[in-house]
Structure 1
């Protein structure tokens, strides 16, 4: 498929799954706009590593926990682009404090980054997305199976799944598809701090007996982008989590 001239947005596109998707879209010929919140070093690293593809990469600092930042981002996109072909809603946030120690503000921040910011982006950019575009949310198995680490994260991702499914109706008849890729545990920076004991506990609950690679999650995103009949789906990529 010739993707020259096509525009993609990847929120949280400088690390982990977002970075993997960004690199794949660049390889496919897209012009890719990625957002990051605070880690300037990671943003500069991806810019330096893409080689000549940097001409098709725009990196924008957007604090997804700040509503004004999100609206400003949307305004900048509307001023420059007339259509967005692919939107990957990947930016996320968690809080690993004990549930009873979390403040309202901390819970709301998790919801703002994962859910509300993407809802704002899709609503504000609706005219740019409403002509055979493809939207993929990065959800989570924590939205499907309970996990003790972060209630706020699981609730936010469950709401992300619900938003995606309901948006199918909003884009009905416009040719735009909306799907979710729901990873289990993936070898990203988020997981680097897990002890061997915790990892073994997770492995013991997962039929595959390991974490996913980033490439395996990117492959699932590609599936959603390459098949126009996949719409309103939650694609679980968990290695069989909770099947043991």
Structure 2
């Protein structure tokens, strides 16, 4: 407990709900100043900012669609305008939709890859341009990148690409003292997974060695560690956080 992120500025995309919101809360609790980025629901992001400020953290909200490189550049510029620095990027923004092969088309491919892969690349480029030594970049892959399910081919491929980018970009950013890692969660209980848990929750609990469903707090602690000085010797890695599923 206590990674001491005092004085650090963290940008969390997808930070208004689910895992991203819990990550923002955890980083703020560790002392970081927060920029919460959302694609369209600025009201939800504003509520998140109000909660963080009520807890004593400095925070603001910005909108951006990470599928567009110009939005990524503007997002980082907005962070710099607000706080004058950027130390931690956590890219929780992503899209997930499963389709069988006979329904997979170019539109489906671009919906997954433009946000999940191009967004990862564009955010890394924009953030790295303003980060100094000690900078931390944390992206989100998925356990499905290693163990894909039927119908999840394009989504799984996009998350595998995130892991590959993370490893490759670590080679470029390492000499500058910037680490870049990815977290690959299993199923986490959020509003987005409510339907899956309703139909398959019991069987998933039984398959997981820890016999429970993952919570956003299970992921936020790992992200806080990767954002801290304690993780300074870890880069280029994708860390699975899925309760031990095979």
TM over 0.5: yes
Q: Which residue of 1 aligns with 2:63?
A: 61
The farther-off stretch of 68-77 and 143-152 is 68-77
Q: Verify the 8 A CA contact 1:99 1:150 in the aligned structure 2.
A: no
Deviations 1:102-153 (A, max 9, x none): 3312211211111211211221332312421111112210111112242221
SS where residue 129 of structure 2 aligns? Answer: helix
Q: Verify the 8 A CA contact 2:100 2:150 in the aligned structure 1.
A: no
Computed over aligned residues only, the root mean square deviation of the Cα atoms, in angstroms, reads 2.2
**Residues 2 and 170 from structure 1, CA distance in 2 versus in 1: closer, same or farther, beyond 3 angstroms?**
same
Q: What are structure 1's unaligned runs of at least 5 residues?
A: none
Cα distance, 1:53 vs structure 2: 4.6
**Residues 132 and 211 from structure 1, CA distance in 2 versus in 1: closer, same or farther, beyond 3 angstroms?**
same
Cα distance, 1:54 vs structure 2: 6.9
Q: Verify the 8 A CA contact 1:94 1:152 in the aligned structure 2.
A: no
Q: 2:203 aligns with which of 201, 204, 223?
A: 201
Q: What are structure 2's unaligned runs of at least 5 residues?
A: none
| Residue correspondences, number | 242
Tell me: higher relative CO, structure 1 or 2? Use CA pairs within 8 A at least 6 residues apart. 2
Q: Which residue of 2 aligns with 1:188?
A: 190
Q: Verify the 8 A CA contact 2:72 2:126 in the aligned structure 1.
A: no
TM-score, scaled to structure 2: 0.88
Q: Which residue of 2 aligns with 1:28?
A: 30
TM-score, scaled to structure 1: 0.89
Q: 2:116 aligns with which of 111, 114, 117?
A: 114
Q: Which residue of 2 aligns with 1:239?
A: 243
The farther-off stretch of 10-19 and 106-115 is 106-115
Q: Which residue of 1 aligns with 2:14?
A: 12
